[in-house]
Amino acid sequence: MEHEQYLALEKEKKAQTRKLYLTFAAIAVVLILIKMVFITRSAIPTWGVRLVAVGIYVAIWAIVIDQLYKRWKAITYPGELNPIQRFMMRLYRNKLATFGLFIVLFISVIAIFASEIAIYERRYNSDWKEYSMMPPSREHPFGTVSSGEDLFSLICYGSQISLVLGLSVEFVVVVIGITLGVISGYYGGWIDKLINYFTDVIMSFPFLILVIVLVGALRANPALNDQIVDFGKTVGMDSHLLMVFVALSVFGWPGVFRQVRGQVLSIKERDYIAAAKVVGASRSSILFRHTAINTLGPVIVVATLGIAGVILTEAGLSFLGFGADITTPSWGRLLSEGNSFVTQPKYLYLAVFPGLALFFTILGFTTLGDGVRDAIDPRLKL
Amino acid sequence: MKKLAIAVIVLLGVYTITFFLTFMLPGDPARVSLGQHGSEEAVELIRAQWGLDKPRYVQYYSYLSNFIKGDFGKSFRYYPRDVIDLIRYRFPITAYYGIWSIIFAVIISIPLGIVAAYKQNSIIDNIAVLISQIGVSIPNFWLGMMLIAIVAVKLGWVNPVPEVPYNYYWTPVGFFTSLKDYALPIITVGTGMMAANTRLTRSSMLEVIREDYVTLARSKGLSERKVILKHALRNALIPVVTNVGLQFLLLVGGAVLTETVFGINGLGKLYIDAINYRDYPTVIALTLIYTGGVVIVNLIVDLLYARIDPRVSLR
C-alpha cells in the first residue's frame, strides 16, 4: 500500500515538473519574441532608452528563472536543502567567487545584447577620417579608433567574440577530453599508453607557439585556407578566427583528458560500477551514465578556468597578428592597435579600455572557477 | 630506465609534429627569402642548397640524424649562419630578464604565501589571495603596455625599451646596473609567476601545517619560528621549486608577447620571426631545445621526488 502511494506521488511530481517546464518554455519563447521585435536598434533608436530597456528585460528574465527555480524546488525537494542550494551557499560564502560570478554574468549580458548596448552600428563609414582617433567624449565614452569606429561599441562586439570562442572551444575540448579520458582510463592497455604519449608531447610544447605554428600552417595552405575562408563566408564569421578555434580545440584537450582519466581510474574500482555490471547494464551505459557523468564536477572547474585560458590565448594571438582579421573587433586586435600608440599619452585610451575588458573577463572566469572548485570539494587539487 | 625511454619518445613526437607543421607548409622558404623578383634558377639553386628539393621523408630523416649529432642546421633567414649561433646570441637576453623575474617572483611570493597560510583567513591572507588572483588573470602583455605608459612615459623613470649594450648585463657590474632598464619586462613577466607561486606556496603550506610531524615538532617545544621555517617550509617548498623550474621554460612561450611589447630582441622575437619568415630549421631547433628542457626538468623533478620522498618509487 505504502509503495503504491509512493509511486503515485512520484508520478504526480513528474507531471507537475513537466507542466512547470512547459510553462517555462512558453514564457521563454514569448520573452525571446519580445526581444526580437521590441528591443532592437530600429525599435528604440535612442541609446539611453535602449540601455534601460535591456536592463528591464534582463531583470524580467532573472525573475522568471528565480520563480522557475523556486517552484521546481517546491516540487522536487519540499522543505529540504537541495544540491543546488548547498552548492550556491558554499559559493556565496566565497566573496571572490561571488564577484567572479557577477562579472561573468555581466559580460554575458553585454555579449548577448551587444548590438543593443553598443552605441553605434558596425558598418563602413565613408567619412571615417573625421572621426578617427577621437579622445573619450560624450558621444564616444571610450573614444574612437583609427578607423573612426567607436571604441565602446567595438568592445561590446568584441565581448561576443571572446565569449563565443571561449565557450565553443571549451565545449569541443571537454567533449574530446571526456571521450578520450573515459576510453583511456576505463580500458587501459595500449590505447591508454598511446593517448598518454600524445598528451605528453602536446603538453611539453609551449602552448602559444604550438597554436601559432598550426594557425600559420592553416593560413599558408592554399587549399585549406580557401575552404576555411569559404566556410567562414557562408557562416558569416571571421575565417582567421575559425582557424584559431580549430587550433585551440585540437591542442586544448590534454588538461581535461588528464583530469577525466584520473577520475575514471578511481571510479572504475567503485562498487556501483560492479553493481551496474552485475545488474547487466550495457557497456555504453556503464561508460556514459556511470562513469563519464561522474567526472563532470572537476571537468566543469577545468573548463571554467580553460575558458579564461582560451580568451587570453585568442587575445595574445590576435595581438601578434595571428588571430582575428583587421576588421574584427577582437580585444587582442584592439590592444595591438593600442600598443602602437602606447608611448603617446594622448592615445592611451586605445590600450586601456580593451585591456580592462579582457582583464576583468579573465579575472571573472578564474575566480569563478576557483570558487566552483572550492564549493565542489575543498580538498580537490587542480 | 623507463622514464628516459618515455622522454625520448616524447621528444621524437615533438620533432615529428613540428616537422610536419612547418615543412608541410606549401609556402616556399626559398621564394620568401629571394622575394618576388628572384629568378626561377636562383630559387631552384637555393632549394637544392637547403635540401628542399628532396622528398619529405629524406628531409625528415636527414634533419633528425643531424639533430642527434648535435647539428641544428643553418638558418634559412640568415643563411649561412648556424641556427645554434642565432640561439646562442639571443639566449642571454631572454635569460637575463628571465632570471631576474624569477628572483622577483620568488622573493615576493614565498614569504607572502607562508604568511598567508600561517594566518589563514586574516586580512593578510585575503590580500595575498586577491593579489595572486589578479596576478594570474592580468594579461601580461597588457600589463607591460600599461607599465610603459605609466612608469616610462608618464613618470619618466625608465626607458620604455631597454637600452643596454649587448651582453653588458652579464658582467658582474652590469648584472645589477642593467636592472633599471629591464625593470619593466621583469615586473611584467614576474607578476604572473609571483601570483602562481604565491597560490602554490599558500596551498602547499596549508596542507603541510596540518601534518603530524608539524604537530610533533610543536609538542617538542620548538619555537614557532623553527617549526614553520625548518619543519613545515622544507616540505611545503617541494612543489614550489618544481614550479619555478618549469616557469623558466614557460617564459620562452610568454616571451613571444613580452618581447613584442618591449621590443626586446630575445628568443621570443626569434621564434616569431622564424615562423613569419618560414625559417624552418630555427623553428624546429627552438622547439626541440625548449621541449628538451621541459623533459629534462621533469626527469630531474621525478628523480628528486624519489630522493626526498621514499614513498614515491621509480618504476
> Per-residue pLDDT for chain A (382 aa), expressed as one digit of tens each?
678 888 888 888 889 889 999 999 999 999 999 988 888 888 888 888 889 999 999 999 999 999 998 888 888 877 777 778 888 888 888 888 899 999 999 999 999 998 888 888 876 667 777 777 788 888 888 888 888 788 899 999 999 999 999 999 999 999 999 999 988 988 888 999 889 888 888 888 878 888 888 887 777 666 677 777 777 777 767 788 888 898 899 888 988 998 888 888 888 888 888 888 888 888 788 877 777 777 888 888 889 999 999 999 999 999 988 888 878 889 999 999 888 888 888 888 989 999 999 999 999 999 999 888 888 876 555 4
B253: nearest CB among A207, A338, A339: A207
The DSSP H or E segment spanning A89 is helix A83-93
Q: What percent of chain B has pLDDT over 70?
A: 91
Task: Say how far apart CA B285 and CA B280 lie, in whole Å.
Answer: 8
pLDDT at B292 over 90: no
Whether A379 has its CB under 8 Å from any CB of chain B: the answer is: no
- Which chain A residue is nearest to residue B273, measuring alpha carbons? A320
Which residues fall within 8 angstroms of residue B25, CB to CB, at 6 or more apart? A216, A217, A220, A221, B278
Chain B: closest CA distance from residue A233 (Å):
23
Mutation pick from A213, A227, A310, A358 vs chain B, by most beta carbons of B within 10 Å, is A213
pLDDT for the residue numbered A176: 94
Asked whether the beta carbons of A364 and A108 are under 8 A apart, the reply is no
Say if residues A237 and A205 touch (Cβ distance below 8 Å): no
Q: How many CB pairs under 8 A join A and B?
A: 130
Residue of A nearest to B10 (CA): A201
DSSP H or E segment with residue B178: none
Domain B94-308 has CATH 1.10.3720.10: yes
Query: Using a CB-CB distance cutoff of 8 angstroms, which residues of chain A are in contact with residue B295?
Result: 204
Contacts of B271 in chain A (CB under 8 A): 209
Q: Where are the domains of chain B?
A: 2-68, 94-308
Closest CA to A54 of A69, A66, A43, A65: A43
Predicted local confidence at residue A379, as pLDDT? 59
With CA atoms as reference, the chain A residue closest to B204 would be A381
CA-wise closest residue to B175 among B251, B235, B97: B97
φ/ψ of A238, rounded to 5, equals -65, 115
Cβ of B204 under 8 Å from any chain A Cβ? no
DSSP run (H or E) holding A148: none
Element (H, E) at B171: none
| Helix or strand run (H / E) with residue A268 | none
What is the C-alpha separation between A274 and A286, in angstroms, rounded?
A: 10
Tell me which chain B residues have a C-beta less than 8 angstroms from the C-beta of A312. Answer: 139
Of A205, A348, A381, the CB nearest to B149: A348
From the list B252, B272, B287, the residue facing A320 with the nearest CB is: B272
Cell of A95: 566573496
User: Using one digit for the tens of pLDDT, what is the confidence trace for B147-163?
Assistant: 999 888 888 888 887 77
| Terminal CA-CA length for chain A | 49
Mean pLDDT, all residues of chain B = 82
Q: Which residues of B are less than 8 Å from A201 in CB distance?
A: 10, 13-14, 17
Phi, psi of A342 (to 5 degrees): -70, -25
Which tens digits make up the pLDDT trace of B237-280?
877 877 787 777 677 777 888 888 998 888 888 888 888 877 88
**Residue range B189-219, pLDDT digits in tens:** 999 889 989 988 888 888 888 778 888 888 8
- Which residue among A201, A220, A342 places its CB closest to the CB of B148? A342
Tell me the β-bridge partners of B82: B74
**Contact A276/A286 with Cβ under 8 angstroms?**
yes
Closest to B17 (Cβ–Cβ): which among A201, A345, A351? A201
Q: Is B291 on the interface with A (CB under 8 A)?
A: yes
Instruction: State the complex-level ipTM.
Output: 0.86
Q: Please report which residue ranges of A188-221 form alpha helices under DSSP H.
A: 189-204, 207-220
Rounded Cα distance between B5 and B266, Å, is 32
Range A343-348, long-range pairs (CB < 8 A, 24+ positions)? A343/B148, A343/B149, A343/B152, A343/B153, A343/B160, A344/B153, A345/B149, A345/B153, A345/B154, A346/A135, A347/A133, A348/B149
CA distances from A364 to A101, A158, A256, B308 (A): 7, 16, 20, 38
Point out the residue among B22, B160, B260 whose CB comes nearest to the CB of A320. Answer: B260
The pLDDT of residue B314 is above 50: no
Residues 154-193 of B with CB under 8 A from A: 154, 160
Position B315 scores a pLDDT of 41
**Residue numbers in B near A207 (CB within 8 A):** 253
Strand partners, A144: A150
- Residue A39: which residues within 8 A CB-CB, separation 6 or more? A50, A53, A54, A57, A113, A116
Chain A CB contacts of B148 under 8 Å are 342-343
Q: Which residue out of B142, B200, B315 would a mutagenesis test of the A interface target, given it has the greatest number of A Cβ atoms within 10 Å?
A: B142
Q: Which residues of B115-147 are buried (b: 16+ CB within 10 A; e: fewer)?
A: bbbbeeeeeebeebbebbbebbbbbbbbbbbbb
Predicted confidence (pLDDT) at residue B39 exceeds the cutoff of 90: no
Residue B136 CA, chain-centre distance (Å), reads 16
Nearest-Cα distance to chain B for A154, in Å, is 18
pLDDT at res. B45: 78
Q: Which of residues 196-225 of A touch B (CB under 8 A)?
A: 197-198, 200-201, 204-209, 212-214, 216-217, 220-222
A73: left (phi over 0), alpha (psi -120 to 50) or beta: alpha
B291/A217 Cβ within 8 A: no
Dihedral of the CA atoms A362, A366, A369, A370 (nearest 10)?
-170
Q: Which of A241, A240, A213 is nearest to B272 (CA)?
A: A213
Interface membership of A194 toward B (CB under 8 Å) = no
- What is the rounded CA–CA span in Å between residue B53 and residue B45? 10
Contact A206 B290 (CB under 8 A): yes
pLDDT at A56: 93
| Contact map slice: B 101-140 vs A, CB within 8 A | 129-130, 133-134, 136-139
Per-window interface: B 32-91 vs A, CB < 8 A: none
Whose CA is closest to A120, among A152, A142, A162? A152
Nearest CA in chain B to A206: B253
Grid cell digits, residue A145:
579608433
Our measurement of the distance from residue A78's CA atom to the centroid of its chain's CA atoms, rounded to an integer in Å, reads 33
pTM recorded for the entire structure: 0.89
Q: Do B287 and A197 touch (CB under 8 A)?
A: no
Instruction: Report which secondary-structure segment, H or E, holds A75.
Output: helix A47-76
